[in-house]
Structure 1
Amino acid sequence: MIGISADFDPVHLGHVKLIDKARELADKKNEDVVIYLNKGFSANHAPFFVSYDARRRMALEAGADEVIPIEGLHHRLTLAYTVPIRIAMMIEDGVVDYVDAADVSTSKIKKYASGFASKGIFSGIPRTLPNRNVIRWFAVNEFLKKKYGKNLKFHIIPEHKIKGDKISGRMIRREILENNMKIPEEVQKLLPDSTVRILEKEIKKGTIPGKRNIRDLTKRLNTFSRANLNNIAHMNADAVNSIVAGRSYQNEDKIWASFRMAGYGPVLTRLAASAVEMNVTREEVYDLIKNYEDKGIIPPDMTVDQVIQRAWYVSSMSSKGYSASEAHNKFRSGVKSTLKRVKFFDAGMHLRSFETESLKQDMDALFYVDKNDRLCCEIRAEDRKIKSPLRLPAHHVTYLRLLIDSHFIPITGKLIEKPEGWRVRISVGD
């Protein structure tokens, strides 16, 4: 099998070049061209402009033999995690050759990828590198060879350009929207006839453009408490506080503005918004990653335990006078840490006497960072909602804050009554 992994939103002439190359390889080997087509959300975590069924027809008419949906990943996971999952899926399906396009030479991509793979770096590939995602695919492909005893053979073709410009799906979609849902003549020149025909039918049917469920998205952003927002994957403390400060929301523009205020870029904003829209919890993402870890698909530097251990190491070193960036760099450099992270620890609370009357053993506690940057917990008793700052040593404060900002490590709390008073037992991960 010859594989391509794509959004194809919509299929344009650059995609046709990929399929043509795959067809050339397939005909020589008497194999099929199979498209692994993202469904539900794009690789960049956005709703699709064109429906899955329409994109599937476009791919088949452009020369593919089969289309396999990839769904359930891109509103939950970053590309760093979806790439190994997709490569593993293709290897297990029997794909031997993989076709992609890049702006730089294959030899340069291999050089970068080999360097990262040899150092065990798969999640921290610099954004400044050209065709960064293709480099990631090469590096992860090398990693998975250890598991499967084989990997994909990559065939990289030059990115297709017209008059020196790369064809952009984003530009195509924008031009159609700005032209009152009609395909401009200049855009039609970038598309195969089959795509134009399918697009026109879908526009007539009213299925284009695909949209977010803005009702569910705004309802959660407008009504969830800080603690509940913090329990959604890919929401860090700054994002939660920015969202709360920016209420209320009726449209995406204001949502994007709040995420930008929290330092989120476009890709992370789309992922966080999709997670809120679909109510994706930290626990859900954690369990999903753990599932693929157990199958040997997730690289070592990306395991959930490594994320937790890094938070513990950085917080430990910070308490010794290191800056967070210095501690992080030491951890990334492969320093063997003898600092074993704790799986749970107890925090004190600032409670008023009448609040303690509402507490019971093993009540759940949720965590958040308030507008004054204090770590707090929220407890929902039968008769009231109780909020309290946490009392913790500095080391644990840093540790907990790093975990909150990890985007997907679940943090759970249970009330326990001790001789010295009520405490909340904080558990990390499992």
Structure 2
Amino acid sequence: MLILIGISADFDPVHKGHEKLIKEARKLADNENKKVVVYLNKGFSANHAPFFVNFEARRDMALALGVDEVKSFEGLHHRLVLSYSVPIRLKQMIDDGITDYITSASISLDEIKSKAQKFIDEGNFVGMPKSYTNRNEIRWYAINQFLGSKLNYHVVKEFNKDKYSGRLIRQSIIDNGMVITDDVKKLLPKTTIEILQHEIDADRIPENRNWVEIYKKMNTYSRGNLEKIAYLNGNTINEIIKRRVYRDPESIWAVFRRSNYGPVMTRLAISSIEMGVTKKEVMDLMKGYESQGVIPDNQKVQRVIDRAWYVATSRLDAREANEKFRNEKIEVNSPLCLEAGLNLTKFETKITKEGLKTDLYVDKNGKISVQFKSEGKKIKTNLRLPAEEVTYLRYIMDSHFIPVNGHIKKSEKGFKVKVIIG
């Protein structure tokens, strides 16, 4: 069996910058009797959006330029941010027998190593600074080193990123009525142009979101149901309900902008809504990979929960507490179960029963609340908790991927909600 050289990409579409990367990989492969394997993201791009060009066409574009084999990463990018999907993709490549990883960047490998060291030391790859040039390449190198991989890392000098940009190429084709202009053709290999034109003629470009499904959920879901969806926090859910009705994509983008979501998180949240991705689904996926030793310790689910408890109970400013928790490897004993009081009317108390399942949500006034049904009646009420537990629970509910569930519990003075975290 040949030793493998791996490339991980979207290739949407394959342009001359990608062609250069493949040629350099091909040279390396031919000199060392290796095989070039490209791993293409499938379903959703690394930026959490539908692809412009479908997987089959992008695969053919790569193969036409001399790649030996194309494999896929599927089901990750509508569920996970890059700091979680990158180690999973790396693990798959290593398990497949990849020994060399090749990528393109405008900075040198030494510069990548220097910028990556801080994240390697901390074992935390969330929040890579936006100011970093080639931050995705820095992330891949840092995680590769942190996981103890023996993958050899190769960097090819990339073409002008402002010119050879998949985003700009796609936008030009759309703006020109699905025509590949002469200026764009100069940026694409001949084989890409042929395949791309065939896909346009067959009306398979671009792939689109299921906006009908997205409008339906954003227009009709209750706060409790929206709270279950990954990457939605309490403030955003209230903005979604406040700004109804949604009939066009711009109105949806606007509500996330008002909630201070950047473009990447907005795309991920919309993808999660579209695909019905729940916080529990994301958490279970993360835990599955944790058991395989793939997820760095500081990013594990329990550490996220522990950080929320520490910040909520610390006397420090939230930012200072976060820094202290991460840098000093603090251990805490976080409660995974809370008992909260209810504010029920006499009638509501009369029809409430032990064991009823409840949905938690943040109401329009920012209060943590609960809703449940009993005897055909919908009951909504705020929870009564100590201040520290309120802060802790709010951090958890805003974590994007840790679910909270509750059920009614009989107490000496009436009823409580037993809240289960994770």
Task: Please give the range of the TM-score, normalised by the shorter of the 2 chains.
Answer: over 0.9
Cα deviation, residue 63, structure 1: 1.5
1:62 aligns with 2:65: yes
Structure 2 Cα separation of the partners of residues 124 and 267 of structure 1:
12
**Given that residues 123 and 301 in structure 1 are in contact (C-alpha distance below 8 angstroms), is that contact kept between their aligned partners in structure 2?**
no
Partner of 1:93: 96
1:340 corresponds, among 333, 339, 344, to 333
Cα deviation, residue 127, structure 1: 2.1
**Given that residues 339 and 418 in structure 2 are in contact (C-alpha distance below 8 angstroms), is that contact kept between their aligned partners in structure 1?**
yes
SS of residue matched to 2:131: coil
Structure 1 Cα separation of the partners of residues 416 and 263 of structure 2:
40
Partner of 2:154: 155
Across the two proteins, how many residue pairs are aligned to each other? 419
SS of residue matched to 2:103: strand
1:196 corresponds, among 190, 193, 196, to 193
Deviations 1:371-410 (A, max 9, x none): 1111111113341211111101000000011001100001
User: In the TM superposition, what are the counterparts of 1:255-270 in structure 2 within 5 Å?
Assistant: 255-270=252-267
Partner of 1:379: 372
Structure 1 Cα separation of the partners of residues 401 and 241 of structure 2:
20
Deviations 1:3-52 (A, max 9, x none): 00010110001111111111111111222111110000000000001111
SS of residue matched to 1:32: strand
1:299 aligns with 2:296: yes
2:112 corresponds, among 103, 109, 112, to 109
Cα deviation, residue 2, structure 1: 0.7
Shift in CA distance, 107/204, structure 1 to aligned 2, threshold 3 Å:
same
Amino acid at match of 2:231: H
Cα deviation, residue 350, structure 1: 1.1
**Given that residues 230 and 269 in structure 2 are in contact (C-alpha distance below 8 angstroms), is that contact kept between their aligned partners in structure 1?**
yes
**Given that residues 202 and 208 in structure 1 are in contact (C-alpha distance below 8 angstroms), is that contact kept between their aligned partners in structure 2?**
yes
Please say which of residues 374-383 and 287-296 is displaced more in the overlay. 374-383
1:397 aligns with 2:390: yes
Structure 1 Cα separation of the partners of residues 102 and 279 of structure 2:
34
**Given that residues 342 and 382 in structure 2 are in contact (C-alpha distance below 8 angstroms), is that contact kept between their aligned partners in structure 1?**
yes
Partner of 1:37: 40
1:254 aligns with 2:257: no
**Given that residues 349 and 414 in structure 2 are in contact (C-alpha distance below 8 angstroms), is that contact kept between their aligned partners in structure 1?**
no
SS of residue matched to 2:107: coil
Cα deviation, residue 411, structure 1: 0.6
Unpaired runs of 5+ residues, structure 2, are none
Deviations 1:83-102 (A, max 9, x none): 00011110110001111111
1:406 aligns with 2:405: no
Amino acid at match of 1:260: R
**Given that residues 365 and 379 in structure 1 are in contact (C-alpha distance below 8 angstroms), is that contact kept between their aligned partners in structure 2?**
yes
1:138 aligns with 2:127: no
TM-score, structure 2 normalization: 0.97
Cα deviation, residue 151, structure 1: 2.3
User: In the TM superposition, what are the counterparts of 1:202-241 in structure 2 within 5 Å?
Assistant: 202-241=199-238
2:321 corresponds, among 308, 317, 327, to 327
Deviations 1:189-237 (A, max 9, x none): 0001111111111111111111001111111111101111011000011
Partner of 2:15: 12
SS of residue matched to 2:144: helix
1:79 aligns with 2:73: no
2:308 corresponds, among 302, 308, 311, to 311
Structure 1 Cα separation of the partners of residues 384 and 5 of structure 2:
57
Cα deviation, residue 133, structure 1: 1.2
User: Alignment identity in percent?
Assistant: 50
Cα deviation, residue 132, structure 1: 1.1
2:24 corresponds, among 3, 9, 21, to 21
User: In the TM superposition, what are the counterparts of 1:347-366 in structure 2 within 5 Å?
Assistant: 347-366=340-359
Cα deviation, residue 335, structure 1: 4.7
Structure 2 Cα separation of the partners of residues 80 and 324 of structure 1:
22
Amino acid at match of 1:89: Q
Cα deviation, residue 358, structure 1: 2.8
Structure 2 Cα separation of the partners of residues 231 and 100 of structure 1:
37
Structure 1 Cα separation of the partners of residues 105 and 375 of structure 2:
58
**Given that residues 14 and 160 in structure 1 are in contact (C-alpha distance below 8 angstroms), is that contact kept between their aligned partners in structure 2?**
yes
Amino acid at match of 2:31: K
Q: CA RMSD in A?
A: 1.2
Partner of 1:425: 418
TM-score, structure 1 normalization: 0.95
